[in-house]
């Protein structure tokens, strides 16, 4: 899809009425490219009604049998946004990526209509800065976020990495040898390493469980640890420098 077409084509009005879904907790996803389309489909898998808008007829056709409601339209046009009841939907995701002007204009239109529950995709730091200045609290930078995550996965012994904020992350790894075979309550991990083991999963399968003070971990278990990026990295690499 050529996202530059957002500003080049006339508004397309909708058949049917998406407003009942809008009033009952639906999420609107504007831009159904790789990021927006994947997000929309995942929301549907989790039982969320999704109203999709895209300028491309082909893209809309691809999502017609998946989403609650989808139509081709120019979301930079306020009339189109009103047609889908954008001011009433539970959340709005602006997933228009490479067309910076369209992203900003769509965001401005939605804010004008009164919906403040917005997630917007940014492709550059200046783009993110503009979205924040407009009043969007939830700005997503998929490429940057994935780069940060991948760097941590490549660097060390972490198998998954989730930034919660700039100074707080969750990471999935295995227990360092020095904390295995001992009840967690006797280790003083927060004092010594600045991390907390919040959950664990036994080697060989089973489900994740909360890691309380009485839990004893073993070397081949998996754990979920929380703390600053530096502390989490340092803890995950304890006793593992000889693995290679």
- Give per-residue pLDDT as tens, 26-77: 899 999 998 999 999 999 888 888 999 999 999 999 998 889 888 899 999 9
Q: Average pLDDT, whole number, for the chain?
A: 84
DSSP secondary structure code for residue 177 in this structure? G
**Among residues 195, 199, 201, 240, which one has the least CA distance to residue 221?**
201
Rounded to two decimals, the pTM is 0.67
Q: What is the pLDDT, as a whole number, of residue 157? A: 75
Handedness of CA 212, 155, 39, 103 (dihedral sign): positive
Residue 83: other Cβ atoms inside 10 A: 19
Provide the H-helix boundaries in the chain: 19-23, 34-45, 57-63, 78-83, 100-113, 125-134, 142-155, 189-193, 229-236
Integer angstrom CA distances of residue 80 from 52, 221, 244: 12, 52, 58
* pLDDT for residue 132: 94
Instruction: Spell out the per-residue pLDDT of the chain, length 244, in tens.
Output: 444 455 444 344 344 566 666 667 789 999 999 899 999 999 988 888 899 999 999 999 999 888 988 889 999 999 999 888 888 888 899 999 778 899 999 999 999 999 889 999 998 889 999 999 999 999 988 877 777 777 766 666 788 888 888 889 999 999 998 888 999 999 999 999 999 999 999 987 789 999 999 999 998 899 999 999 899 989 988 876 545 4
Looking at the chain, how many residues does it have? 244
- Spatial strand order of the sheet with 160-165 comes to 160-165, 168-173, 222-227, 195-201, 209-210
Token pair for 94: 């602006």
> Around Cβ 182, how many Cβ atoms within 10 Å?
12
How many CA atoms, within 13 angstroms, populate the side-chain half-sphere of residue 173?
29
């Amino acid at each position: 899809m050529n996202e530059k077409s957002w500003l080049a084509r006339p508004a397309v009005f909708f058949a049917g009425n998406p407003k009942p879904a809008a009033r009952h907790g639906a999420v609107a996803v504007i831009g159904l490219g790789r990021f927006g389309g994947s997000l929309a489909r995942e929301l549907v898998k989790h039982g969320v009604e999704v109203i999709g808008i895209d300028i491309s007829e082909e893209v809309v056709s691809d999502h017609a049998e998946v989403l609650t409601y989808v139509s081709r339209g120019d979301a930079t046009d306020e009339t189109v946004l009103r047609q889908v009841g954008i001011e009433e939907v539970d959340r709005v995701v602006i997933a228009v990526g490479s067309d910076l002007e369209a992203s900003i204009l769509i965001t401005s239109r939605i804010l004008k209509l009164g919906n403040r529950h917005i997630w917007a995709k940014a492709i550059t730091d200046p783009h993110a800065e503009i979205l924040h200045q407009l009043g969007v609290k939830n700005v997503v930078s998929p490429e940057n976020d994935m780069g940060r995550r991948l760097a941590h996965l490549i660097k060390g012994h972490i198998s998954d990495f989730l930034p919660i904020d700039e100074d707080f992350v969750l990471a999935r790894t295995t227990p360092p040898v020095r904390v295995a075979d001992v009840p967690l309550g006797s280790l003083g991990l927060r004092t010594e390493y600045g991390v907390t083991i919040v959950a664990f999963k036994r080697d060989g399968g089973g489900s994740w469980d909360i890691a309380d003070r009485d839990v004893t971990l073993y070397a081949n278990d998996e754990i979920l640890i929380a703390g600053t990026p530096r502390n989490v990295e340092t803890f995950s690499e304890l006793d593992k420098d000889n693995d290679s």
